[in-house]
Chains A and B, each alone.
Chain A
């Protein structure tokens, strides 16, 4: 039982890490909690579903959905958040706008596709491959590999490329970044596209493994938020570890605690971190700005 719970934790953790990574990157450059990220995530899964309904092969539908979701993220930034930034809106205003946006996008999805569960799984459900006393399906292996790979790629992007440097500069001080010729608006736009693409990948992986509902984004977002806070806002290894912590806490918790309380454990972790270590276990003490 324990190895299986561990594998389940790893799979969930991988997906939460990807959501947390996008959410955290957006927070560190744009400096507000982009709640609509959860709805954007669900759009990724539903675009794939729409492509699949139209008869596209998944190999075509998935990349198209990822690109489409990235464009939606960019559109949200240009259409709503950028005008708000122009007016010097506080992070609370941006947060409230993102809550509104979340409601709008999620309800659009259920208006178009309905509230019932949709699936893009093809073929019969097969028993997983045995692995150290646990069972794991090929798609679950893909989830673990893809999330690990994407986290690594993002880390390289941030540390080794010019775009990454610009993102770190804007996260550090947008005014100073402007002085050295970095346009913060363009960097934030790029971050929104990148973060949304990561969310789309996470959502597609989950919907290939299980299924999708319009509410799926809300749940993933919650776990992503907890992962970001626990891991440390703005840290890529932090987001990865935070995601893993949430996934593990949820699934290993089931070992001793009834299943229906697994989410409660996660929110207790959230409150614990907010109270005693709001910068997370890997974050720097950025809290000064909020005091």
Chain B
């Protein structure tokens, strides 16, 4: 039973990551492979604050979000000057820099050893100490994020985002400050991703840099693209599919190292096949083919 709950918790955490990335990549058209960096900021902020200052879950979440929002401003900055695949390369650079900070700033992050012993989340004196309670917490934050992003993209604000995605110069000609929107969206998206990191850290109670690598970023963008960038249900479905399907490998009885490789091969082939036969994703609204 715990195994099933574990899968559902993972889906909830990834749902927060995909809707926040969808806001950036799907709705605003800024394809980013630095999302694991924001996720990592949230997780490390949580780990460090709760261990050194015994702060509670909500305080950790706020500080993580502030840190990730600051990073969002920095990551958004190149998008004001460079576009499309060059911007992807820039986000790639940020991902690598953040990873190397997690991995090399040994004095603070303990580097590859990771940070063990993160306390479980506690909300108003109530400990979230088993899978059931955690699932409810994670599902609550996943639905809040989903609702928030949905509200945002359906509002006039969201229509400006889509206009920027479709034709930046045109949006500018209507008097919209495109640069400011791009920065705002990275701030919002980054802060949301850090919430996922916060939940993850409290859930597994141990974090190390291997959870926040470029492969994680590629996995999250794959979920968004496979599900369908620019729709809200799509990426969540993508997250569920990419979390659940490889679990089947577990039941075939393969050694875990082989299963890990096969899982990655599965993600990769699915991404290639989708690009070949259905680039808009399972339920996508935004067609990358333009």
Q: Which residues of A contact B86 (CB under 8 A)?
A: 274, 278, 287, 290
Contact with B along A20-32 (1 / 0, CB 8 A): 0000000000001
Q: Whose C-beta in chain B lies nearest to the C-beta of A27? A: B85
Given A84-B275, A90-B290, are A275 and B81 also a contact pair (CB < 8 Å)? yes
Binary per-residue interface labels of chain A (98-138) against chain B in the complex, 1 for a CB within 8 Å, 0 otherwise: 01111110111011000100000000000000000000000
Segment of B43-51, B94-102, B188-196 engaged in the interface with chain A:
B94-102
A291 x B83 contact (CB < 8 A): yes
* Residue contact A290 to B85, C-beta cutoff 8 Å: yes
B 78-113 to A, binary, CB cutoff 8 A, 1 in contact else 0: 100111111011101110110011011000000000
* Interchain CA distance A257-B221 in the complex, whole Å: 34
Query: Do residues B96 and A278 form an inter-chain contact, with CB atoms below 8 A?
Result: no
> A88: which of B78, B81, B261, B289 is its contact (CB, 8 Å)?
B289
Quick check: B272 and A97 within 8 Å, CB to CB?
yes
Q: Say yes or no: A274-B215 contact (C-beta < 8 A), given A84-B275, A107-B264, A111-B265.
A: no
Q: Nearest chain B CB to A288's CB is how many angstroms away? A: 11
Judged by a CB distance under 8 angstroms, whether B288 is at the interface is yes
A89 to B86, CA, bound (A): 17
Chain A CB within 8 A of B4 CB: no
Q: Which B residues touch A106, using CB under 8 A?
A: 264
Query: Residues of B contacting A91 with CB < 8 Å?
Result: 84-85
- Alpha-carbon gap, A267 to B91, bound state (A): 11
Please give, as numbers and ranges, the residues of chain B lying within 8 Å of A211 by CB-CB distance: none
Residues of B within 8 A of A264 (CB): 97, 100-101, 104
* Min CB gap B268→A, angstroms: 3
Residue of A nearest to B273 (CB): A100
- Cβ distance B119 to chain A, nearest Cβ, rounded Å: 29
- Whether B265 lies near A107 (C-beta < 8 A) is yes
Question: CB distance B96 to A104 under 8 Å?
Answer: no
> For window 32-52 of chain A, which residues contact chain B by CB distance below 8 Å?
32-33
B264 touches A103 (CB 8 A): yes
Residues of A191-228 contacting chain B, CB below 8 A: 218, 222, 225-226
A271 touches which one: B93, B103, B225, B272 (CB < 8 A)?
A: B93
Known: A96-B225, A107-B264, A263-B100. A33 touches B279 (CB 8 A): no
Residue among B81, B84, B93, B268 making CB contact with A103, cutoff 8 Å: B268
A153 within 8 A of B: no
B218 within 8 A of A: yes
Least CB distance from B102 to A in Å reads 11
Task: Check A83 against B276 for contact (C-beta < 8 Å).
Answer: yes
Residues of A within 8 A of B (CB): 32-33, 80, 83-84, 87-97, 99-104, 106-108, 110-111, 115, 218, 222, 225-226, 229, 260-261, 263-264, 267-268, 270-271, 274-275, 278, 287, 290-291
Question: For the complex, what is the distance from the CA of A275 to the CA of B118, rounded to whole Å?
Answer: 38
A290-B83 contact in complex given A84-B276, A111-B261, A115-B257, C-beta closer than 8 Å = yes
Is B270 interfacial (CB-CB < 8 Å)? yes
Given contacts A97-B271, A291-B83, contact A275 B78 (CB under 8 A): yes
Partner of A275, one of B77, B92, B268: B77
Scan B229-268; emit 1 where CB is below 8 A from any A CB, else 0: 0000000000000000000000000000110011011011
B23 interface contact, C-beta 8 A: no
Complex interface residues of chain B between 28 and 57 (CB less than 8 A to chain A)? 31, 33
Chain B interface bracket (under 10, 10 to 19, 20 to 34, 35 or more) = 35 or more
| B289:A104 contact, CB within 8 angstroms | no
Residues in A with CB closer than 8 Å to B271 are 96-97, 99-100, 103
For residue A225, give the distance in angstroms from its CB to the closest CB of chain B.
6
| Closest chain B residue to A98, Cβ basis | B272
Complex Cα distance, B82 from A270, in Å, reads 13
**A83 to B214 Cα, complex, angstroms:** 27
- Decide: A80 and B276 in contact? CB cutoff 8 A: yes
Q: B20 near A: Cβ within 8 Å?
A: no
Task: Give chain A nearest CB distance to B27 CB in angstroms.
Answer: 15
Give the docked Cα–Cα distance between A206 and B33 (Å). Answer: 28
- CB neighbours of B103 from chain A (8 A): 260
Chain A nearest Cβ from B265, distance in angstroms:
5
B81/A278 in contact, CB under 8 A? yes
Name the one of B88, B258, B289 contacting A33, with C-beta atoms under 8 angstroms. B88
Q: Say which residue of B78, B83, B94, B262 sits within 8 Å of A111 (CB atoms).
A: B262
Bound: A260/B269 CA distance, A: 34
Contact across chains for B215 and A103 when beta carbons are under 8 A apart? yes
Top 3 A-B residue pairs of the complex, sorted by shortest distance between their CB atoms: A100-B271, A103-B268, A104-B268
- Report Cα–Cα, A100/B226, bound state, in Å: 11
How distant is A17 from chain B, measured CB to nearest CB, in Å?
Answer: 18
Tell me whether A270 and B93 are in contact (CB under 8 A): yes
Known: A32-B85, A274-B90, A290-B85. A90 touches B289 (CB 8 A): yes
Determine whether the beta carbon of B84 is less than 8 Å from that of A108: no
Q: Taking the complex as formed, is B15 at the interface, i.e. its CB lies under 8 A from any CB of chain A?
A: no
Q: Is B82 within 8 A of A287, CB to CB? A: yes
Q: Is the CB of B268 within 8 A of A92?
A: no
